[in-house]
Amino acid sequence: MAQDQQAATVFRRDLQGLRALAVVAVVLSHTLGVPAGGYVGVDVFFVLSGFLITEMILRDHARTGRVSLTRFYGRRVRRLLPAAVLVLGVTTAVSFLLLNRPRAESVLGDAVASALFVSNWRFAATDTDYFAAGETVSPLQHFWSLSVEEQFTLVWPALVLLVLALVAARSATRARIAVGALAGTVVVASFVFAMLQTAASPEAAYFATGARVWELGIGAVLAASSPAILRMPAVARGAAGWLGVGVIVAACLLLTADSAFPGPWALAPTLGAALVIAGGMGGASRSLVVLTNPLSVGIGNISYALYLWHFPVVVLLPIVLPDTVAAPQAVLLAATLALALISYALVEQPIHRSPWLERPRTPRAERRDAWTEWRGRFGSQFVMAGLCAVIVGSLGGIVVSPQLQSVGTTTASVTAGDDTEALAVVQGEIAAATTATAWPELSPSLDDVISRSTSDNPARDCFQPGDMPDVGRCSWGSGDAPKRMFVIGDSTALAYSPAFRAIADQSGGQWRITTIGLYGCRFTDVLLEGDGDGVMESCEGRKQGIAEMIAAEQPDMVVIAEAFVGGHTTSGQDLSPGEIVDATARYAAGLGVGDRVTYLAPPPLGADLGSCYTQVSAPADCAVRVDDTWRAFDAAGAATAGAGAWTYVSSIPFSCAGDVCPAFAGSLPTKFDQVHLTTAFSEHIAPALRRLLADAGLL
């Protein structure tokens, strides 16, 4: 990432090679999936940045007795900001051109957060949102590491200057000792925090500044300790460099996505990077040819640009790549390299070498000559690149614009007739959608339902974590209705709630239906791990409270609806679909309502709308087949019904046709994500669901 180097500092080819090793690991990991631990390249960058930033401050202080923060930040802005702004702008623009509207708007939010150096906090916060857990990765997610680094850069120089002022450091030695002590304290405190947070919430820990700053602190300790390191024998320093490379490579090859990160396994790449940096001090890295060769140095020179461009390319380019491309990964790598070279030559280096925001000590004429040299070498190429971008953008508009035209369809509607006709109509809509070749005019649109999530579901508050919801606000139909029904479960029951509200309202005063539960909480007699902020703290209490309510009211019917996905207990035991269904049956038996329990299957998993639904996609891209896990749950649910535990009702009649489940039916989107029915479609299937319940002898 950053390459802050003071002109007076000796150019270290080994550090450029170290950058190359780090960025190649990251790019290959994200593009090819190997090495599995290639993500540790970011940790190498952290150590490098901490070292260079601190060394620069200490050198300035040793030479002049003061540090100009204005000059320091001016250099950094010139070095980092232009290329970052370019990537943020291009990625956001392309996202609006290619992606669905909610996802593009999310990318815009990511770009703003990245520009403000807080994207790591944004991504950490997203992971706590249950209904955002399945969102497709952002093409700007890699900016989280730049945010961590810049947060460090905004605070660390001021802390260093404060310490230097407090100890009245009049010598370079005293200054380095004071800064080393400060950095060591940061390393210890942050690493302890990383260990604790990784154990408690690994997703949040991965992005957390407090859990990452120790890695930059290691670099700061190295910078403060450089005089002591230089007193070591050159042979020992050279050996340390080779050892460091080996440790980094081993971390790339041996660590996986399941490794506890950043605490403790980030120690491996960070200590490896520290060994390389320390080993190369005083020129001892000359023998480290794996890093100092021209190719490694060249890649290191463009490492920042490679890092910035690779993830937008990996996420966005496959959307427009034809399926016939023989080696798509090679295309991704080539595109990343081309964009990196262009932006390095035409944006990054010219601005970095320009007098913008600079108050240097070199003569004005010399600065002007350097700027003129770069402008002369690359000015014409920049104009040509701009013209090419305009041409490509225009062609892209010509290619994409026909895809954006709405294709109207004639949607059958039920204006009269019984529930049997309603079920037949829904099944006809599903069947027609599986063969559609163009998106119809949907109302609400897929963009709208993705944005709304569950916000328009009337029972949303009845499934939130916390205290037991108000049952009266979660009940539908006449309060004087002679028949009583409860619909309980996780977010699957929430998604079915609009259908059951419609059934209650259309029952002629016969049914009073309460829909209540907790998203992320399986209604089993064992506690299964669930996602979402506050879910696990509320799950057991919510299940018990609802069970007591049902036992007291003795309703005519209890419907349990929950996700058909694998799971494991809080003690770490993995449960098969059959074991989870058995655990649900045991919970149902404890309700004390006998055979009045119905187990309603959720719809099979749909496609990932975030990636399949784009400005250039077709309905077939978002139509999926019934998955094997759903079939296993289906078989277990039916078998348990055969044993008399409950009545089992399948969701296939209003979800899929010919084993294919489309993303819409008629003029309605079926789901707003992979799992949950849209409110509009849930209401639409109410007559069909009522028919299925009646056929099962339940209504």
Q: Provide the pLDDT confidence category of residue 544 given band limits of 50, 70 and 90.
A: very high
pLDDT tens digits for range 10-42: 689 999 999 999 999 999 999 999 999 999 999
Tell me the whole-structure pTM to 2 decimals. 0.83
pLDDT at position 356: 61
pLDDT at position 398: 31
The phi-psi region of residue 600 (left if phi > 0; otherwise alpha if psi is between -120 and 50; otherwise beta) is beta
pLDDT at position 413: 39
Q: Provide the pLDDT confidence category of residue 67 given band limits of 50, 70 and 90.
A: confident
Distance between CA 525 and CA 512 in Å, rounded? 27
pLDDT at position 168: 66
Segment holding 7, helix H or strand E: none
State both tokens at 130: 């249950």
Q: Provide the pLDDT confidence category of residue 132 given band limits of 50, 70 and 90.
A: low
For residue 79, CA distances in Å to 82, 140, 309 come to 7, 19, 16
Handedness of CA 4, 309, 260, 16 (dihedral sign): negative
pLDDT at position 409: 37
- Look at residue 173 and tell me whether its pLDDT is greater than 80: yes
Q: Provide the pLDDT confidence category of residue 1 given band limits of 50, 70 and 90.
A: low
Mean pLDDT score, 186-207: 94
Mean pLDDT score, 176-185: 95
- Look at residue 339 and tell me whether its pLDDT is greater than 90: yes
pLDDT tens digits for range 103-119: 999 999 999 999 999 99
Mean pLDDT value across the chain? 88
- Look at residue 323 and tell me whether its pLDDT is greater than 90: no
Assess contact for 566 and 581: CB atoms under 8 A: no
pLDDT tens digits for range 611-636: 899 999 999 999 999 999 999 999 99
CA angle 267, 270, 271 (to 5 degrees): 80
pLDDT at position 408: 35
**Picking from 34-38, 358-362, 646-650, which range would have the lowest pLDDT averaged per residue?**
358-362
pLDDT at position 133: 54
Mean pLDDT score, 63-84: 87
pLDDT at position 193: 97
pLDDT tens digits for range 509-530: 999 999 999 999 999 999 999 8
- Look at residue 155 and tell me whether its pLDDT is greater than 70: yes
Q: What residues pair up with 515 in beta bridges, in sequence order?
A: 487
pLDDT at position 136: 82
Segment holding 528, helix H or strand E: none
3-class secondary structure, 286: helix
pLDDT at position 287: 81
- Look at residue 176 and tell me whether its pLDDT is greater than 50: yes
pLDDT at position 228: 94
Mean pLDDT score, 296-313: 97
Q: In percent, how much of the chain has pLDDT > 90? A: 76
Q: Provide the greatest CA pair distance for the chain.
A: 93
Distance between CA 80 and CA 102 in Å, rounded? 29
State both tokens at 278: 């320390």
- Look at residue 377 and tell me whether its pLDDT is greater than 60: no
State both tokens at 512: 């009073």
Amino acid symbol at 697: G
Count the alpha carbons within 13 Å of 142 in the hemisphere toward its beta carbon. Answer: 29
- Look at residue 392 and tell me whether its pLDDT is greater than 50: no
For every residue of 65-126, which 3-state class applies, written as one string? CCCCHHHHHHHHHHHHHHHHHHHHHHHHHHHHHHECHHHHHHHHHHHHHHHCCCHHHHHHHH
pLDDT tens digits for range 554-585: 999 999 999 999 999 988 899 999 999 999 99
Assess contact for 28 and 311: CB atoms under 8 A: no
Distance between CA 95 and CA 88 in Å, rounded? 10
Assess contact for 482 and 510: CB atoms under 8 A: yes
- Look at residue 61 and tell me whether its pLDDT is greater than 50: yes
Q: Provide the pLDDT confidence category of residue 71 given band limits of 50, 70 and 90.
A: confident
Highest mean pLDDT, choosing among 16-20, 79-83, 412-416: 16-20
